[in-house]
Chain A
Amino acid sequence: NAGVTQTPKFQVLKTGQSMTLQCAQDMNHEYMSWYRQDPGMGLRLIHYSVGAGITDQGEVPNGYNVSRSTTEDFPLRLLSAAPSQTSVYFCASSYSPESNQPQHFGDGTRLSIL
């Protein structure tokens, strides 16, 4: 039972480069989301999706794009990496947005922008 799988685990980029952080879940969850975690800031929501084909912005969406073509996958794209995007990124999923079920988190992608 894989749960939520994030790849890569670590990545170093140069300013201006683009990349995609992958997230996949095998629990048939409708709701998926991306957070960034920075020291002293807790978790901040970047983008979320309530189902295939439906995405919306969270608290800190600038510089990031998402798409949801399947229920399982929810990739996060950095369009032009900036040092301020150095962070740990977590993907999470839950059964449905209206449910009272907890979220399942991946183990994160640690991203450094030079």
Chain B
Amino acid sequence: AQSVAQPEDQVNVAEGNPLTVKCTYSVSGNPYLFWYVQYPNRGLQFLLKYITGDNLVKGSYGFEAEFNKSQTSFHLKKPSALVSDSALYFCAVRDSSGGSYIPTFGRGTSLIVHP
């Protein structure tokens, strides 16, 4: 079975400071990993994904994520946070090795960027 954990319900950061939103996962085979962002009253929007290759993945709006196989983590990062980054962030995983192709989502982390 596959699973995703987002250990922080909320992350607070000051504008201009770096931000990290944590995600750890568990799959039987190799993972496909995704980050999505949800703004108020909107659906989830895709930010970035890890399929294979470089462990550092760059995505939309200046976000990046680092895949760490030994720690089974895929933390979302941004060097300098903006107030407009305040939103709900979801990590998702799917096992690329067959079996269930249904992605599993984490419970979400609310990012609050203070001016």
Q: A residues touching B (Cβ–Cβ < 8 Å)?
A: 4, 31, 33, 40-43, 45, 48, 58, 90, 92, 97-98, 100, 102-108
Contact = CB atoms under 8 A, between A and B. Distances in A.
A100 B43 contact: no
Query: What is the size category of the interface that chain B forms with chain A?
Result: 20 to 34
Contacts, number: 49
A41 B106 CA distance: 9
B46 A43 contact: no
Contacts of B9: 40
B49 interface: yes
A31 B32 CA distance: 17
A92 B108 CA distance: 17
A107 B90 contact: no
Interface of B: 9, 32, 34, 36, 41-46, 49, 51, 90, 94, 96, 101-103, 105-108
Nearest to B46: A102
Nearest to B45: A105
B96 A100 contact: yes
Q: Which of B36, B42, B51, B103 has the most CB of A within 10 A?
A: B103
A48 to B, nearest CB: 7
Given A4-B43, A42-B90, A103-B46, A48 B105 contact: no
B102 A100 contact: no
Contacts of B107: 40-42
12 contacts: A42-B90, A42-B108, A43-B105, A48-B102, A90-B43, A90-B44, A100-B94, A102-B36, A102-B46, A107-B41, A107-B42, A108-B42
